[in-house]
Amino acid sequence: MGTGKKEANRKIRQGKVGDGMGNVKTKGENFYRSGKKVRQLKVLTGGGAQRNAAGEITKAAAYQSRDIPNARVEPNRKWFGNTRVISQDALSAFRTAIAERTSDPYNVLLKTNKLPMSLIHDGHEAKDGVRQHQAKRTIQMSSFSDTFGSSSQRKRVKLDAGDFTSLAGGAGQDMETYAERQEQARLLSGKSEEAYEDDQDDGQITTAIEPIFSKGQSKRIWNEMYKVIDSSDVVIHVLDARDPVGTRCLSVEKYLREEAPHKHLVFVLNKTDLVPTRVAARWVRILSKEVPTLAMHASITNPFGKGSLIELLRQFAKLHSNRKQISVGMLGYPNVGKSSIINTLKSKKVATVAPIPGETKVWQYITLTRKIYLIDCPGVVPPSQNATPQDLLLRGVVRVENVEHPAQYIAAVLARVKTQHMEKTYGIKGWSDPTDFLELLARKGGRLYHGGEPDVDGVAKMVLNDFMRGKIPWYLPPPTAEDAEAETKEDLIVGQEADAEEAAEVSEGGGSQDGDSSSTDQDQGEGVEFAGFESE
């Protein structure tokens, strides 16, 4: 051994250099391996169990001992006292307080996992998952043939009713819930009781439905929507300010309420520049009773409500401060402005937009801030038995150029728009029916075939596009009785008659003017469902 190596080993043994373990004698240390090297090799190769000749473990490896340590129960009096009970009065007070908080759309209940939330979800409207599971298992384990008849294998049949009295009571309760569902369907249809009963008695489809009206209901679109819902912490439901009731996805709201109550739902009333300010403000007050609602005009250059929406999203981000980021999903009907809102929040074009439905094909992630992500979603159309093809077309669900014979839907446009608005927009007067209106408009614009035949379908497509893109003023009037407990769609229809005494603001070309609002028109008759802006 050289002199230098001997001197180095001496310094290591004396603890003058190294890791401070030089003066500690390690088993296995020799000329070839220092104590540090031996300890390093033990880390790599050691740790195994020691066995005898029979293969039995005599010394377990580190942290691998199977010996159960001695344990004893703590001698605490809580094991013998009623420490996990609550009185009925305290339980009732807790139930009332939690129900009030959860019913308020502007309150957020934190730490719901530590609260018995089943106490406020055990009503008759809530789903009893345990009972449904038991019923399903009963059917699987004991079929009808194995339960009744000569080949029955059970001594006693499990039935929900033990006698005829309980059976009759259950049937009566089912009938009451059925009547409530039928009444709700009638109110959502917007028809009178007599007209709805006539339609139910008829039970036949009078017109053939074109395949184009099934847009927004495909499996691919719904899969995209569910992916957005599953990935979102906050769901923004975008509504059209001209028809908020018609553009609400009630089935999606029900799914969020029942299957994902931990996700926050927010309504954004878009296209408020197409309705008077008082109408948008009243719709916000009405919808805010159910869900937090904001009014917005999506525009990159001149937006309205952008700051309020960003501030709301920042509040949600602070609410979930334990997460690195939150995701905000955009849902709603096609062509209501979901992608336009994202571009407005980013102040630049990051999502493809177009004045036609179906421009967004798949979901898309957009970064708003370091902690907030936006998710764009294709427009979905929940299936509804009350939605007619003309309703879907006028809500902007389908593209007008793909509709066969668009002239047949002009009657619905004339029924929703005031006569004076059509006269002022197109500069024609004195039509007697929708066909006459299209012929006059075609001759005025010079859209004629050979022989002077007017291009009725071409003009009809132009009118429908103007109706959906906001060139023709119209809107659904909100109910006037804001303090009413029950507001139905029938109230929305007749509410415009009480709206005649209020002043209306007219928006034309970015400007506004005040005038008198009249909800009835002599040419259109009474009971008009939609109202438009009023001229001076």
Mean pLDDT in residue range 67-92? 78
Domain check: are 342 and 458 in the same one? Answer: no
**Whether the predicted model's global pTM rises above the 0.75 cut:** no
Residue 247 and residue 265: Cα distance in Å, rounded?
15
In a domain, 532, yes or no: no
Q: Number of helices and strands (H, E) in the chain? A: 18, 10
For the cut 50, the answer to whether the pLDDT of residue 357 exceeds it is: yes
**Looking at 4-8, 93-97, 440-444, which range is the least confident one?**
4-8
CA atoms within 13 Å, Cβ hemisphere of 378: 23
- The two tokens of residue 463 are 């009118």
Domain check: are 356 and 438 in the same one? Answer: no
Helix segments in 215-336, DSSP class H: 219-231, 250-259, 277-287, 306-319
Domain check: are 355 and 403 in the same one? Answer: no
| Cα Rg of the chain (Å, integer) | 36
Residue 415 and residue 432: Cα distance in Å, rounded?
13
In a domain, 342, yes or no: yes
Domain check: are 270 and 353 in the same one? Answer: yes
Domain check: are 335 and 451 in the same one? Answer: no
Q: Helices 434-445 and 419-426 meet at what angle, rounded to 10? A: 20
Indicate the SS3 state at residue 240.
strand
* pLDDT score for 9: 72
Domain check: are 358 and 312 in the same one? Answer: yes
pLDDT band at 525 (very low <50, low <70, confident <90, very high): very low
Measured CA to CA in angstroms, residue 270 lies from 303, 330, 336, 533 at distances of 11, 12, 7, 18
In a domain, 358, yes or no: yes
* pLDDT score for 519: 35
Q: Which of 469, 484, 519 is the last residue of a domain?
A: 469
Q: Taking a C-beta distance cutoff of 8 angstroms, is the pair 460, 410 a contact? A: yes
* pLDDT score for 85: 74
In a domain, 294, yes or no: yes
Domain check: are 44 and 11 in the same one? Answer: yes
Domain check: are 372 and 422 in the same one? Answer: no
Classify burial at 348, counting beta carbons within 10 Å of its beta carbon; exposed 0-12, middle 13-18, buried 19 or more: exposed
Q: Which residue has the higher pLDDT, 388 or 83?
A: 388
* pLDDT score for 376: 92
pLDDT band at 14 (very low <50, low <70, confident <90, very high): low
* pLDDT score for 500: 38
Domain check: are 447 and 355 in the same one? Answer: no
Residue 14 and residue 331: Cα distance in Å, rounded?
74
Domain check: are 333 and 221 in the same one? Answer: yes
* pLDDT score for 517: 35
In a domain, 442, yes or no: yes
**Looking at 75-79, 394-398, 491-495, which range is the least confident one?**
491-495
For the cut 50, the answer to whether the pLDDT of residue 530 exceeds it is: no
**List of residues 6+ apart from 228 with CB closer than 8 A:** 329, 330, 331, 363, 375, 377
In a domain, 256, yes or no: yes
Q: Which of 469, 484, 515 is the last residue of a domain?
A: 469
Mean pLDDT in residue range 183-187? 69
Domain check: are 259 and 372 in the same one? Answer: yes
Residue 122's DSSP bridge partners are none
Percentage of the chain modeled with pLDDT above 90: 23
* pLDDT score for 516: 37
Q: Taking a C-beta distance cutoff of 8 angstroms, is the pair 480, 499 a contact? A: yes
Chain mean pLDDT for the chain: 77
Measured CA to CA in angstroms, residue 304 lies from 275, 329, 476 at distances of 13, 20, 21
* pLDDT score for 129: 53
**Looking at 211-225, 267-281, 362-376, 458-472, which range is the least confident one?**
211-225
* pLDDT score for 197: 63
Domains: count for the chain = 3
In a domain, 450, yes or no: yes
* pLDDT score for 191: 59
Q: Which of 344, 376, 408 is the last residue of a domain?
A: 376
Domain check: are 289 and 325 in the same one? Answer: yes
For the cut 80, the answer to whether the pLDDT of residue 368 exceeds it is: yes
Mean pLDDT in residue range 377-395? 81
**CATH number where 250 lies:** 3.40.50.300
In a domain, 304, yes or no: yes
pLDDT band at 105 (very low <50, low <70, confident <90, very high): confident
- The two tokens of residue 223 are 């899969």
What domain range is 353 assigned to? 215-376
For the cut 90, the answer to whether the pLDDT of residue 309 exceeds it is: yes
